[in-house]
Amino acid sequence: MRTPRPGYARLLSPLDLGRFEVRNRIVMGSMHVGLEDSPADADKLAAYLAERARGGVGLIVTGGYSPDRTGRLTPRGGQADERTMERHRVITREVHEADGRIILQLLHAGRYAFHPLAASARAGKSPLTRFRARRLTRRGVQRTIDHFAAAAHRAVQAGYDGVELMGSEGYLLNQFLAPATNRRRDRWGRGAEARRAFPLAVAAAVREAIGPDALLSYRISLLDLVPEGQDWVETMVLARGLTERGVDVLSTGIGWHESRVPTIVTSVPRAAFTPLTERLRMSVDVPVVASNRIHDPAVAEQVLADGQADLISMARPLLADPHLPAKLADGRASQVVPCIACNQACLDKVFDGQRASCLVNPRAARETELVLTPVLERRRRRVAVVGAGPAGIEAALASAERGHVVTLFEASAELGGQLRMAARIPGKEDYGQLLNSWPMRLAAAGVGIRLDTRPTAEDLLGFHDVIVATGVAPRAVDLPGFAPDGNGPAADTPDTPDATDATDASKSAAAGPQVISYADLLEGRAEAGQRVAIIGAGGIGVDVAQFLTAPQPSPTLDADTWREHWGVVDPAERRGGILPRPRPQPRVTPDSETSDGTGTDVSADARPTDGRRSREVHLLQRKETKIGAGLGRTTGWVHRAELRRAGVVQHTGVAYQRIDEQGLHITVGEEQTLIEVDTVVICAGQVSERTLADELLAARSGRTPRVHVVGGADVAAELDAERAIRQAVETSAGL
């Protein structure tokens, strides 16, 4: 991991982009938040973007808008038509009143469109949608060029400072460029020069349409990460052609959406792709924007100092903290709310058709709905928050922001709750940034902190309000003998065997495997042996499997190791910058020589060869669905790929029988199986820890404070920090 230099002089310095000057080098990159699709949401979108402008960002790029109906992402997706652009005058006005600059991104989905009007360079279906795209005719190609130009003109007329053309991530312009998706035999596809003709024609038409004063940015794919993608020579020729046609800024993109290489999740090393950005910058005479996993301002400063880019795109970090630039300028870098790149509340929501927000900032994209209104001094309340996990800390911060007098109690010696365990999972190292930021933010907000303190109901009688955020305890199964109920888990219960509500999850069968809870393992109170069974394959179970098998040191901490780990190579050496992935070989298990159809997944590498710890790990669940099916849309496939690569043996449709001196006995279908292990890790979900809340609610005297129960203490979901923090902030907003 790079060692950043102190200070932010380069990141905060202005830059002349040719058409106008921006006040710093921070670009809020394009990110769809679900407010773009309906003109009726223009006021909400204006509030969201204007807050980032007030926070000091240099240049804002909107979410993508299609130039025509064919290019919409969804049937009701955003389009830069006359009605929409007229409504957007409120957006451009509010951003400009905040001394900001904003450009509209034009995005044609091509074969990524989720509707029957999809059209692309050639007929076919992408892996992301069930709709088959038709082939654009030669007349259709020209119409699309005209539509781009007309949409760009409407954007500038609506007050935008320019437009950005989305030519990356596998959308239409990118589809014309790659041999994988363009095998036309006409002037728009016969060879590399013909494949470039369409995006170059779009850039030229848009430049003419927006006039000499508006900014024209092009998001260029430097690394497609798909077989038969572009090579480096083609990309450089395209870049020079774009600048010749009037493009002012080249914003870099990495990877198509269908690529099987992660590019933005938290396990990707910081600034992993900036060497390619630097190479582009050396080849063109316009400013270049670096992107993808540059979340830490210190890393962004170092990228600029090393001459790898002229500007830094920080989309999700500005979801997390809209005032990030202002905090840097004011010397409050330690108080920045860090983005942990979890995708849970932003991209996962968008891909499920919901409005995006942010796990660590639930007000993101809800600025007009979730308002932390300051209270008058005479209405200040004394607020106790009990439990310093994510929900408790954010409740304390939100309450203090409103002006209340807040005291935060924590029974242990550390802040963070179960997030401390998550930060120990290889690939989630950036969660530690959130842990490090909380003490500074709490101190700045004036929150009183009492660690190693477990208050009683009597201790809290002097407060007006008590927010109980005491979290959860691991659910323990009744071992060595228990039987499932035979009906399968209910929809709202953990995917585990029948369990007791005991909080001590460390029972051991005599002379048999050691039985430990995930909490004991991740907090270092217990260690796993060489043969491990994990009971419960939800998010925690998957995390534990990765904790036990991930390479050491973590590839996330070294970009070269990570690239080798995922088969990423120089696009100058291989088209698309990706090596072919060998088919996994079946792993031989004691009870089966091949996949026997009983629910045991043995299609994984037999022996990891990439520095992984040599453990035999079994991951088990009662459900018959594939393991990891409930994980996030943008991150789940990464976790599943890592499990396969590690050789984790996956068992589904499991009925748990017993643990004895031989090991763990299970039944899959009609077949009984013994899994010989020395350790069983229980990831059987959680139970709410609400003893204090029940005591306070039972008291009901005139001196009893108002009681609010939030987070895991309210609902013991599977460590759902996004729901817990949102509930905590909403509760504080209502005090």
Would you say 299 and 271 are in contact if contact means Cβ atoms under 8 Å apart?
yes
CB neighbours (10 Å) of residue 458? 10
Give one DSSP letter per residue of 612-664, joined into a string. Answer: B---EEEEE-SSSSPTTTTS-TTTHHHHHHHHHHHT-EEE-SEEEEEEETTEE
**Residue 97 half-sphere exposure, CB side, CA atoms within 13 Å?**
11
Calpha distance 577→221 (Å, rounded): 11
DSSP three-state, residue 574: coil
In sign, the C-alpha dihedral spanning 30, 265, 633, 173 is positive
Q: What DSSP state is assigned to residue 114?
A: S
Amino acid letter for position 550: A
> Taking Cα atoms as reference points, which of 292, 610, 267, 295 lies closest to residue 427?
267
Grouping H, G, I as helix, E, B as strand and the rest as coil, residue 515 is: strand
Q: State the helix-helix crossing angle for 89-97 and 42-54, rounded to 10 degrees.
A: 20
Backbone angles phi, psi at 463, to 5 degrees: -100, 150
Q: How many CB atoms lie within 10 A of CB 194?
A: 16
Sign of CA dihedral 17, 20, 23, 27: negative
Question: Which two structure tokens, joined as six digits, stand for 19?
Answer: 């058409």
Is 171 an active-site residue? yes
| Token representation of residue 716 | 């013991």
Query: What is the Cα–Cα distance from 408 to 396, expressed in whole angstroms?
Result: 7
Residue 469, token pair as written in the block: 């955020």
Asked if 707 and 696 touch (Cβ cutoff 8 Å), the reply is yes
Q: Which of 171, 431, 518, 656 is catalytic?
A: 171
Residue by residue, DSSP assigns 393-408 as HHHHHHHHHHT-EEEE
How far, CA to CA in Å, does 454 sit from each of 386, 498, 522, 661, 692? 8, 31, 23, 40, 9
In angstroms, what CA-CA distances link 440 with 57, 106, 337, 369, 402? Answer: 23, 40, 10, 27, 18
Q: What are phi and psi of 340, to 5 degrees?
A: -100, 10
In contact, 142 and 82? CB cutoff 8 Å: no
The neighbouring-strand residues paired with 218 are 165, 250
Name the residue with tokens 């959130």.
Answer: 434
The helices-and-strands tally (H runs, E runs) of the chain is: 21, 30
d(CA 606, CA 589): 10
Task: Record the tokens describing residue 714, joined without a space.
Answer: 């309210």
Using DSSP's 3-state secondary structure scheme, residue 349 falls into: helix
On the question of a cis peptide bond just before residue 480, with omega within 30 degrees of 0, the verdict is: yes
H or E stretch covering 477: strand 476-477
Cα 466 from Cα 710, distance rounded (Å): 11
Between CA 326 and CA 58 the distance in angstroms is 11
Rounded CA gap, 530 and 457, in Å? 45
Active-site residue numbers? Answer: 171
